[in-house]
Structure 1
Amino acid sequence: MAENYKPAARIPTATYRLQFNAGFTFADATRIIGYLNDLGISDVYASSYLAAKEGSVHGYDVVNQTVLNKEVGDEQSHLAMVEELKRHGMGHILDFVPNHMCIESGENLWWMDVLENGMSSPYAHFFDIDWEPVKKELTGKVLLPLLGDQYGKVLESGGLQLIFKEGAFFVQVYALQIPLEPRSYLQILQYRLDALKEKFPAEAAPVEELLSIETALQHLPLATEQDPEKMGERHREKEIIKKRLWQLCHESPEVAAFIADNVKSFNGSKGDPRSFDLMDKLLRDQAYRLSYWRVATEEINYRRFFDINGLAAIRMEDQAVYDLTHTLLFRLIREGKVTGVRIDHVDGLYDPVSYLQNLQKSSYFQLRQAGSTFPADNGEEKKEALEKEYNALLETDPCYKPFYAVVEKILMKGELLPDQWPVFGTTGYDFLNSLNGIFVATEKAKQMDRLYDRFVKWGGDFPDLVYEKKKLVMQVSLSGERNMLAHQLNNIAEQDRLTRDFTLNSLARAISEVIACFPVYRTYANSASVRDKDVQYIEAAVYKAKRRNPAISGSVFDFVRDVLLLKSPERATENDRRAWLYFAMRFQQITGPVMAKGLEDTAFYVYNRLVSLNDVGGMPGKFGTTLEAFHGQNLDRNKTFPHAMIATATHDSKRGEDVRTRIDALSEIPELWQKSVVRWSRFNKGKSTSIENQPVPDRNEEYLLYQILLGVWPAGEMDQEEYKSLKGRVRDYMVKALREAKVNTSWVSPNTAYEEGVTSFVDRILEPGPENVFLREFLPLQRRLARCGIFSSLSQTFLKMVSPGVPDFYQGTELFEFTLVDPDNRRQVDYGKRVELLADLKAREAETGPEALCRELMGKAKDGRIKLYLIYRVLNYRRSNRGPFEGGEYLPLEAKGTRERHICAFARKGKEKTVIAAAARLVATLMPAEGSLPLGEEAWQDTVLVLPEGCGGRFRNIVNGEELEAQEQGGEQVIPLARLFGQVSVALLESASA
């Protein structure tokens, strides 16, 4: 048993995110692995490709975690992809979804079993269902808010159809076939039974068999049965009954016709409401209640992913759920086919830290079995030995993490990942916003405020907006979740004489206010003790809630605080303490969805001061990032999570990275921006419409639209079809933005007339022709911002590749990609073009050398090849020189001179080598309006980069192969920026003295 083997996590040098679906399969990925390897990527980072709802384009609507998505490929094609990765020495990170499953698919066999068998289903505990909800009519039932209209209207219009197949009855709800509870078959089989008997002689075999089947159904244990033996009996017998019934229909045409006629009768006749009574009575006897989808807001009794009815949460805290849902993942880890995981929506889990600890331990077991002669079976004795072995390793090395795991986690200002989480970091939203922020002119905040206030008549405060939108979300989307919490808290209050007088209404209001004031997505108490940081967050939220609500008794808020902090009174029983902890942990699961929906999916679409700041993980009320803050965050990451992912775009981004950098540049030129937007609005005034005396679009929406157009406008000339595509994409984006903002329309209550007014406005202002004054004035500014965007995009991409962490690339972004929020950013990528371009660049480099090639590519920068070449040069260097980038020191560097604020620079110091990274920023004020490149003395004047001591005097720029000599100035070694950025505005310097 004892083998000297300690699995070590594979640390990527660079990851590349691929979106798998029917349009991009394992076979498609296999074909580009060689290209990704040439680019310098070390690990493919895959979206979830476990079985998902048919037609899924993202994979998060998982229906079965134990098998591969057949639309993406089979075991053979998956193996071919993995083998190709291994052939190139590459790893494979898989996006895993532990929080929820799609329930709008018959392929979710677990959920369908729950609907058929209710509480008696062996999978009833898999889903987070409240079987004893506040609404007593739902006791023992699951609310199914699937209908597009009120239940009665859908029923009487024939929208719910009874069907019979293979011995089982189902109700057809749109494309979904939902099973009926087997005992309710009796209503169908006993209807008009006497008429069937008349067709047969006495004691005829078909009738006797049908009666026997009915008797078996009558003796079937109830759907509320909880005794394991009775549950097992129910499961066995119901399947036998179905087979008998199906066999009887095959043997007796009369019985088959009888059932078919009964099905027809139950399905009723349009125009005859009474004819639907049979179906109504049948549906009342199910383990579910079909309802209008709007009912979910207040009466839902299963936890969802945010407010999406079709995604039901699963109870990952249950060991049986954990074991079954991870079966395939752990096999892939054991077989070496998956070398890392990204955990989706970790904040949705009941107990994230326990889950992550369990994940590392389980991964260790798989790696231990794969990496030695240890047998791969799961005997209890061997499992105990492995657990003992793993715990011993943790005792000697508490930070030991055998498997590379990162979490999708949004960190608010000043928030850090909990220390006890055994992960390598987040997926990089924090870095995305920090990095993007240094390309925003922070000192122009007040000017941009005034501009925005004057144009849209804003005059508000962003934190107040977030507070109001979080309250709105709890009213229109998540009031059911809040009500559930209120009833739980009311039950707690009833147990103590000092709190029993708190009313249900006052508790519900206090909960809403505390959640609306919560400063982070969630806290993580999972035991009697609460982290100091979580104490601070809870106390801050309660304090703010009190300040905002002087009319509510402070003692109610104090009670909420005490429960969340688990400060139960000394006289509390053990059951009381468990109830307090349960409430606190349930509360933690709700604050995250409210924050996400209120902040990201509402406030971000209302507050449009500078929309490049409105991205996941950002706080647009803060105008950019100082260099000091950026360096400080890099230093912290290098110390705490040096192998975290760092990204500039993800599948969840509100705007693509190259769109953001163009919009960022507006912050540098607020005077020109104000002049432009006022004139454009005047030109386009006649192209808007009016609904109920309200201009469409309103000023805030118009302000957003102009920024979007500046960011998304393609490089180069467009033909007619490309122009049509652009307009369509912008129209689609604006409709989504309007609905997310929830001001003039929404997803819940679409105002189609308003939306059509906005899309018509888009069409009119983009109508080509010499008479369109707006376009004539718009294009010069757009071209200027596009030139700025090129340099900022190169700088952002470069800084990502050399900062502490693992640089992640979202599919397609190795060229300039001007994409908007999903689904726009999930369109298929033209990999044929990229493969061809990289091959050509490599060939040209071999012919002319990198310096000449870089000069040529900068001259044609709009085509994006310079970005591709930059990535190729830096990633391949990093892969061959891991020392300075993994575990090395991070040293911020300073520049001196007139343009010193326009550069971000730092050194990465390893044991054997130091490299220096420098990138231009805030280039809009460096380049003339009609200029081309912000290079040379005219741009950089006297500014120099000050080099760290002892790093040598001669350097090679890895980006273009150019060699540079340091100069002495004031007793320091420096390089003039005019020389450093003579060809390209980024530099990665290594000593050339060897």
Structure 2
Amino acid sequence: MALSDKPKAETVIPDSTYRLQLNKHFNFEQVASCIPYLHRLGISHCYLSPFLKARPGSSHGYDIVDHNTLNPEIGETEDFDTLISRLQQHGMGLIADIVPNHMGIMGADNDWWLDVLENGPSSAHASFFDIDWHPVKKVLENKILIPVLGDHYGNILEKQELKLSFDSERGEFSVYYYEHRFPIDPQTYPLILSSQHQRLHEYFEADDPVLHEYQTLDNSFGKLPAYTEITPESIDERTRDKEVFKKQLARLCLENARLTLFIRSRITEINRHPEDCGELHALLERQAYRLAYWHVAGDEINYRRFFDINDLAGLRVEDAEVFDASHRLVLSLVEQGKIQGLRIDHADGLHNPVAYYRRLQSENISRSDKDCASKIAPLYIVAEKIVANYEYLNSDWPIHGTTGYEFAAIVNGLFIDMTAEKALTRTYTRFVGHKRDFDEILYQAKKHVMETSLASELNMLAIQLSRIAEANAKTRDYTLNALHDALKETVSCFPVYRTYINSLNVRKEDSQYIDWAVQQGRQRSRASDLTIFGFIHDVLLLKTGDSTVSSNDLLKFVMRFQQYTAPVMAKGTEDTALYEYNRLVSLNEVGSDPRHFGNSSNAFHHFNQERARKWPHSLLCLSSHDTKRSADTRARINVLSEIPQQWHEAVFRWHRINRIRKDKSEAVIARNDEYLFYQTLVGTFPLGELNASNLSAYRERVENYMLKAVREAKQLTSWTNPNTDYEQAVSLFVKRCLNETHTTPFLPDFLEFEHNIRPAGLFNALSQTLLLLTSPGVPDIYQGNENWRFSLVDPDNRRPVDFNHNDIILSELDNQTSQDRADLLKTLLETIEDGRIKLFVIAQTLRFRRRYSDLFQNGDYIKLDCSGTQAEHTVAYARKAQDRWALIILPRLTTSLLDNDTYHFRPEIWQDTALTLPQESPLKLCDIFSRNALTAKDVNGNRLLNLGEVFEYFPFALLTNLAPD
């Protein structure tokens, strides 16, 4: 059945998705041109980054300014409809990435936000944004702090960087700070209009009716209800009359050039010389906002942000009106059958994620088919959610799973030799000169975040908690400072991104996380009165005791607390600690944990069995737009765990080669950052011919990455306080090491080392790709990763993809596949570095998966056992649905097994290793890659497959009893 013919309420589960990053350089039209290629690759659904109207020039689309308009830089409605038509022609669908948590502000593009700036609490959109209109700082009462200025406010005034402006066509006044627009409150227009100004007599006679109308209008603006008057009647009057008066002003200016000249002269007068800027300051003091130096955001900002990004303001999507207003277009596209699924960005930032999912599903039901109300999750939804390895996604959430970070982590761990942990820890410790403990690094990183960029949010929580404490005679002696410090300790020790308490019934899991955090916080605290932690524990678990505070008021605090722990964890872990702890950086990934050094095959099988049972349709990913390193990059770095002694000798040799004696006054790269640099080269060094041009391009990529990495680590430089001397030292180090003139012996030495471990790294990458495509869940391929993609963190991982080139390669592979497969497979292995082998594996597997979708969407997952000398180097499992079988067999930890000169296993390596098949499995099987026919042998009542036969033509296998094509 074609997607367009399916009932709208029927859940469409993708067979596979392909993530595409949209921007003005890659738009709907270009996506449409890729559809035939993606269809031939085997993809069922395009998975697009946000495509609603974002800030002009946005490279990612997450700074949406209008939820009900398509991004004009990406395309108009006609372009979108053309894309949908092209997808439907190929039997494909669309998964959309949506952003419910926040909107892009600043600039001059967000009408909702501009309305709030103009009208303050009386704005029709004041409740749309998460704003504290009554902060502790009284000068901010009923005002929004806008930390946008590049210097202190007074200095900006003096430098005349704030400019009052008049739009005569709309009758509106605004102050501009470069591209940022700040509307002026219409009630304060008289400060500008000055209808009694003496200079008016230079333009008008005393009895001129235009002057009289102007003076009357000036008076009318002044009588508007103040923005602080928030009764329904006052708001209605203000909202109605201000627009009428603006139109009258615009008409007067249009009909009377002399009036426009006067107003322009007033603008010039107010914007005049720095030492006399009192009028502009007085005008700004009367507004519903306070412009401030961006540095003050961490301490005093009073609107919720996306993490610590001032340009992204939190939406109150828990409010039904806000939900409806921000989802109108998306739900309409779902209703029309143009969107089959949604990815929910930053779900943990929402006030009540579970309620949000339920509302989203109920809206989909109400808009499509009331008879389907019994369905739990009629719309395919995945949430961007990081799940700790000891955390479980709640099975009653009406979604289909997460975006797959936890899968990437478990797969990555398969290709790390767990026995090397102590050796690599010793090497790292000796290289950097002291022991690094990740627990302590993470703890300190989270505290640093709360003391700097997210301090204002912590202050607000502490004040709320203090009010709760004041309501009980037993707790009122807890001071604000003590509560602040105890909260900081508790959040620093929080073991997960957040809890999900949304009612008076607290889940056991949430209670356990709170118990742990409070206990650890108490142990770390230096407070003289530790009973304060018992109070915090009771509040977080909604235990009122003798307090006069209601359970609902406690719940409000807890739900705000939950919105805080998530960004602290994200900023502390992903944007700080993962850049500071560099023992084996392939473990430093979103959703991963550097403390867990690899995992066994059994752990991987257990994960997949649980996934097949609980979340069979969750998204699976290895690389994404958010990963710190692409899967291919991690695969190469993982090889270091197989050769710890060689790595130890290499890094110390390279350090001696690259060490340059300098004066103590000169900065040099830190040992920790140098250690990161060498691993970065191992993971990303270009394959193929090395010439001056591609080495120069690569050097620039690595330099940009290293500068970002050292800023994120926040040790010797940072984004907020850049240390230019140190950053220059890092840049010079990178340039010296990657100098095409080989002025030092480092590069030749490194190239020899990298050449020796490259085959194992590429085999790792191919093995994990096959796991992605056949494990329980929906495999997602991030753009360009069907070929080798040795990317680093954004923006490096958002480089454009040459789809025409990939399309040509796929066509050539298809032509060769139809001829002599044995020759093709031999050639692919011999030319493995050109990436065609990865494209071949992906296309063959996805096409098979699409043909037998039920086998992979709903089939059982069966662990297969191996016996023999190489059993530990093998991962094998089966997918089964009724009498349909697919057996997946692949190698791991292959450094000792490969002939590095030919990219083949040594001939004898697998001969004494066999795979044991279930008794009910078919005896005769065929490999979809080689078309090699295999027959299991009965040995002492066991059905065995010799791996020497399985890997005879190709070192990866997908065996089946079904017709492969």
Q: Contact 1:936–1:979 (CA<8 Å) still a contact in 2?
A: no
| 2:185 matched residue in structure 1 | 181
CA shift for structure 1 position 991 = 2.6
Cα distance in structure 2, aligned partners of 1:822 and 1:433? 19
CA shift for structure 1 position 896 = 1.2
Q: Contact 2:897–2:906 (CA<8 Å) still a contact in 1?
A: no
Cα distance in structure 2, aligned partners of 1:266 and 1:626? 71
Q: 744-753 vs 550-559, which deviates more?
A: 550-559
Any residues of structure 2 matched to 1:291-310 within 5 Å, and which? 291-310=292-311
Counterpart of 1:90 (choices 69, 92, 99) is 92
Cα distance in structure 1, aligned partners of 2:256 and 2:838? 72
Q: Contact 1:68–1:75 (CA<8 Å) still a contact in 2?
A: yes
CA shift for structure 1 position 949 = 1.7
Cα distance in structure 2, aligned partners of 1:934 and 1:442? 24
| 2:3 matched residue in structure 1 | none
Q: Contact 1:506–1:552 (CA<8 Å) still a contact in 2?
A: no
Q: 559-568 vs 908-917, which deviates more?
A: 908-917
Counterpart of 2:852 (choices 855, 877, 881) is 881
Cα distance in structure 1, aligned partners of 2:48 and 2:491? 34
Q: Contact 1:546–1:557 (CA<8 Å) still a contact in 2?
A: yes
Cα distance in structure 1, aligned partners of 2:945 and 2:669? 51
One-letter amino acid of the structure 2 residue matched with residue 813 of structure 1: N
CA shift for structure 1 position 945 = 1.9
CA shift for structure 1 position 74 = 0.6
One-letter amino acid of the structure 2 residue matched with residue 237 of structure 1: D
CA shift for structure 1 position 291 = 0.3
One-letter amino acid of the structure 2 residue matched with residue 67 of structure 1: T
| 1:269 matched residue in structure 2 | 273
Task: Tell whether 2:892 aligns with 1:933.
Answer: no
| 1:379 matched residue in structure 2 | none
Query: Normalized against structure 1, the TM-score is what?
Result: 0.94
| 2:489 matched residue in structure 1 | 513
One-letter amino acid of the structure 2 residue matched with residue 408 of structure 1: E
Task: Tell whether 2:59 aligns with 1:57.
Answer: yes
| 1:201 matched residue in structure 2 | 205
CA shift for structure 1 position 689 = 5.6
Deviations 1:507-539 (A, max 9, x none): 000110000000000001011111110000000
Cα distance in structure 2, aligned partners of 1:780 and 1:909? 45
One-letter amino acid of the structure 2 residue matched with residue 327 of structure 1: R
Cα distance in structure 1, aligned partners of 2:894 and 2:754? 15
Q: 978-987 vs 824-833, which deviates more?
A: 978-987
One-letter amino acid of the structure 1 residue matched with residue 698 of structure 2: L
CA shift for structure 1 position 718 = 3.4
One-letter amino acid of the structure 2 residue matched with residue 715 of structure 1: L
Cα distance in structure 2, aligned partners of 1:530 and 1:143? 35
Q: Contact 1:915–1:991 (CA<8 Å) still a contact in 2?
A: yes
Any residues of structure 2 matched to 1:656-695 within 5 Å, and which? 656-686=630-660, 692=665
Cα distance in structure 2, aligned partners of 1:45 and 1:718? 35
Cα distance in structure 2, aligned partners of 1:637 and 1:279? 61
| SS at structure 1 position matched to 2:145 | strand
| 1:559 matched residue in structure 2 | 535
Q: Point out where structure 2 has 5 or more consecutive residues left out of the alignment.
A: 1-5
CA shift for structure 1 position 359 = 0.5
Any residues of structure 2 matched to 1:277-426 within 5 Å, and which? 277-368=278-369, 386=370, 393=374, 400-426=376-402
Deviations 1:656-687 (A, max 9, x none): 1111100000010000000000000100002x
1:661/1:5 CA distance change after superposition, 3 Å? closer
Task: Tell whether 2:858 aligns with 1:856.
Answer: no
CA shift for structure 1 position 549 = 1.5
Q: Contact 1:952–1:993 (CA<8 Å) still a contact in 2?
A: no
CA shift for structure 1 position 463 = 1.3
Counterpart of 1:961 (choices 912, 919, 931) is 931
| SS at structure 2 position matched to 1:925 | coil
Q: Contact 2:195–2:215 (CA<8 Å) still a contact in 1?
A: no
Cα distance in structure 1, aligned partners of 2:896 and 2:873? 9
Counterpart of 1:169 (choices 169, 173, 179) is 173
Cα distance in structure 1, aligned partners of 2:792 and 2:403? 20
Deviations 1:146-195 (A, max 9, x none): 01111111110111011111311111112112211111111111187122
| SS at structure 1 position matched to 2:292 | strand
Any residues of structure 2 matched to 1:419-818 within 5 Å, and which? 419-569=395-545, 571-573=546-548, 576-686=550-660, 692=665, 696-818=668-790
| 2:30 matched residue in structure 1 | 28
Cα distance in structure 2, aligned partners of 1:78 and 1:455? 54
| 1:7 matched residue in structure 2 | 9
Counterpart of 2:866 (choices 895, 906, 930) is 895
| SS at structure 1 position matched to 2:504 | coil
Cα distance in structure 2, aligned partners of 1:356 and 1:132? 30
| SS at structure 2 position matched to 1:326 | helix
One-letter amino acid of the structure 2 residue matched with residue 518 of structure 1: F
Counterpart of 1:842 (choices 782, 801, 814) is 814
| SS at structure 1 position matched to 2:514 | helix
One-letter amino acid of the structure 2 residue matched with residue 863 of structure 1: D
One-letter amino acid of the structure 1 residue matched with residue 318 of structure 2: E
Q: Contact 2:203–2:259 (CA<8 Å) still a contact in 1?
A: no
Cα distance in structure 1, aligned partners of 2:709 and 2:928? 42
One-letter amino acid of the structure 2 residue matched with residue 561 of structure 1: H
Cα distance in structure 2, aligned partners of 1:134 and 1:963? 75
Task: Tell whether 2:952 aligns with 1:976.
Answer: no
Q: Would you identify which runs of 4 or more consecutive aligned residues in structure 1 move more than 6 Å?
A: none
Counterpart of 2:840 (choices 844, 862, 869) is 869
One-letter amino acid of the structure 2 residue matched with residue 724 of structure 1: S
| SS at structure 1 position matched to 2:50 | coil
Deviations 1:305-339 (A, max 9, x none): 00000000000010000001000001100110000
| SS at structure 2 position matched to 1:924 | coil
Cα distance in structure 1, aligned partners of 2:753 and 2:216? 82
Q: Contact 2:887–2:958 (CA<8 Å) still a contact in 1?
A: yes
Q: Contact 2:695–2:738 (CA<8 Å) still a contact in 1?
A: no
CA shift for structure 1 position 810 = 0.2
1:432/1:949 CA distance change after superposition, 3 Å? same
Q: 770-779 vs 77-86, which deviates more?
A: 770-779
One-letter amino acid of the structure 2 residue matched with residue 441 of structure 1: D
One-letter amino acid of the structure 1 residue matched with residue 866 of structure 2: A
Cα distance in structure 2, aligned partners of 1:337 and 1:155? 50
One-letter amino acid of the structure 2 residue matched with residue 424 of structure 1: H
Cα distance in structure 1, aligned partners of 2:879 and 2:908? 30
Q: Contact 1:160–1:171 (CA<8 Å) still a contact in 2?
A: yes
| 1:375 matched residue in structure 2 | none
| 2:799 matched residue in structure 1 | 827
Deviations 1:571-590 (A, max 9, x none): 545x6222111000000000
CA shift for structure 1 position 258 = 1.5
1:492/1:900 CA distance change after superposition, 3 Å? same
| 1:247 matched residue in structure 2 | 251
| SS at structure 1 position matched to 2:385 | coil
Q: Point out where structure 1 has 5 or more consecutive residues left out of the alignment.
A: 369-385, 395-399
One-letter amino acid of the structure 2 residue matched with residue 604 of structure 1: L
Any residues of structure 2 matched to 1:72-151 within 5 Å, and which? 72-151=74-153
Task: Tell whether 2:875 aligns with 1:904.
Answer: yes
Cα distance in structure 2, aligned partners of 1:963 and 1:442? 35
CA shift for structure 1 position 936 = 4.2
Deviations 1:331-367 (A, max 9, x none): 1001100000000000000001110000001111223
Q: Contact 1:883–1:912 (CA<8 Å) still a contact in 2?
A: no
| 1:382 matched residue in structure 2 | none
CA shift for structure 1 position 458 = 3.5
RMSD after superposition:
1.7
Query: Normalized against structure 2, the TM-score is what?
Result: 0.97
Q: 646-655 vs 781-790, which deviates more?
A: 781-790
Cα distance in structure 2, aligned partners of 1:602 and 1:178? 34
